[in-house]
A = this chain, B = another copy of it.
Amino acid sequence: MPEQRVPDVVISRLPLYLRTLKQLRAQGQSLISSHQLAEILNLTSAQIRKDLSMFGEFGKQGTGYSVPYLIEQLERILHVDQVWDMIVVGAGALGQALVNYPGFEANGFRIVAIYDNDPAKIGLHLGRLVVKDVATMPDDVRAHRWRIGILAVPEATAQSVAETMVDAGIRAILCYAPTILALPPEVRVQYIDPIVHLQHMSYYLEREDES
């Protein structure tokens, strides 16, 4: 498959293209040029054309891309023309917010189980789910062949919980704990840490005494 040679930085942009195209579709737009897409995304149109050309010929010279067709193709490329089951470990405020987040299913994902080790949280009803004992997680993951886990536990336990997930068969982890996990190379990890984004911006903010 030629797709396997695509640089990871290109892959990282495809979800942004897909999100934008779905917004345009919701607004009723059926065609888009690489130039328009570039403007919305603060990229260059050459970049977008180059990224997409790695997967095939999706646009016609002069008319741009068909929005529904490009959505379909990107969903296929990103493997979200199916819905992936996901587990969440950690049923604190963040885990609860994730279970209540309405945006997953329309984008290829579904939270099917949430776990915690706190007896006060086990048994809690969160939407359509009930918080389960994290000790039961490995067997569940094996039985259902779940592949995606969301880590919403404190920093101190993130590494050990991640290792347990991976031992059970999880191959992609979305990590909300402010740490860097050491895991086998075949496991994909993406991090979400508001501090990293805030510090990136505060660099550009003038201090009060400079303004």
Binding site for B on A (CB under 8 A): 11-12, 14-16, 18-20, 23, 40-41, 77-80, 82, 84, 86, 92-94, 96-98, 100-101, 103-104, 107-109, 145, 147-148, 150, 171-172, 174, 178-180, 182, 188, 190-205, 207-208
Contacts and interface: CB of A to CB of B under 8 A. Distances in A.
Given A93-B96, A94-B97, A150-B194, 18 more contacts: A12-B200, A14-B199, A14-B200, A19-B179, A19-B193, A19-B195, A40-B180, A84-B202, A93-B100, A101-B194, A107-B199, A108-B198, A145-B208, A147-B205, A148-B198, A148-B205, A174-B201, A192-B194
The A contact surface, by secondary structure, is mixed
B148 A201 contact: yes
A194 B207 contact: no
18 contacts: A14-B199, A15-B200, A19-B178, A19-B179, A19-B196, A79-B203, A82-B207, A84-B202, A92-B97, A93-B96, A93-B100, A94-B97, A103-B195, A107-B199, A174-B201, A190-B200, A190-B201, A192-B197
Contacts of A23: 179
Nearest to A94: B97
A174 to B, nearest CB: 6
